[in-house]
Amino acid sequence: AQSVTQLDSQVPVFEEAPVELRCNYSSSVSVYLFWYVQYPNQGLQLLLKYLSGSTLVKSINGFEAEFNKSQTSFHLRKPSVHISDTAEYFCAVSPSGGYQKVTFGTGTKLQVIP
C-alpha cells in the first residue's frame, strides 16, 4: 500500500514570489510520482510526472519537482508565481511497472496575492 501526505492545505504567496508545495509519500516498492493541478470548476490536469531517469522534472509553465528517494519527497517549486497559478495542486503516487492504482494526496490550495 502507498500513501501521500501534503501537509499544507493552503499556501498564500505574493505574485512574483517563489513557492514550494510539499509532498511526501510512503511506499514499500518503487514508485511513479505526479503533480496534478485543478483550476476552479474544472477537473484535474497533469502538471508533471516522474517515471524514471532524471530526478528533476519540469512543466511547460515553469513548475519543477525533484524526486528525492532518501527523503521520500516530491516537492513542487516555482521561482516566480503568477496570478494564473492560483489553483489546487494534488500530489499522487503509484507503484511503478504496469498498471497500478494511483493514490492522491488531499491537495494544497495555492493562493497568489496581487
Partner 1 sequence: EADIYQTPRYLVIGTGKKITLECSQTMGHDKMYWYQQDPGMELHLIHYSYGVNSTEKGDLSSESTVSRIRTEHFPLTLESARPSHTSQYLCASSESGGTSITQYFGPGTRLTVL
Alpha carbon 77 to its chain's center: 9
**At residue 51, what is the residue type?**
L
Nearest in space to 91 (alpha carbons), one of 24, 41, 10, 43 = 24
Determine if 103 is a binding residue for partner 1 (CB under 8 A).
yes
Nearest in space to 101 (alpha carbons), one of 4, 24, 7 = 4
User: Between 24 and 94, whose beta carbon lies closer to partner 1?
Assistant: 94
Determine if 54 is a binding residue for partner 1 (CB under 8 A).
no
Determine if 99 is a binding residue for partner 1 (CB under 8 A).
yes
**Cα gap 104→26, rounded to integer Å:** 12
Question: Which of 28, 29, 42, 70 lies at the binding interface for partner 1 (CB under 8 A)?
Answer: 42
Determine if 102 is a binding residue for partner 1 (CB under 8 A).
yes
Report the interface residues with partner 1, using CB under 8 A.
4, 9, 32, 34, 36, 41-46, 49, 51, 90, 94, 97-107
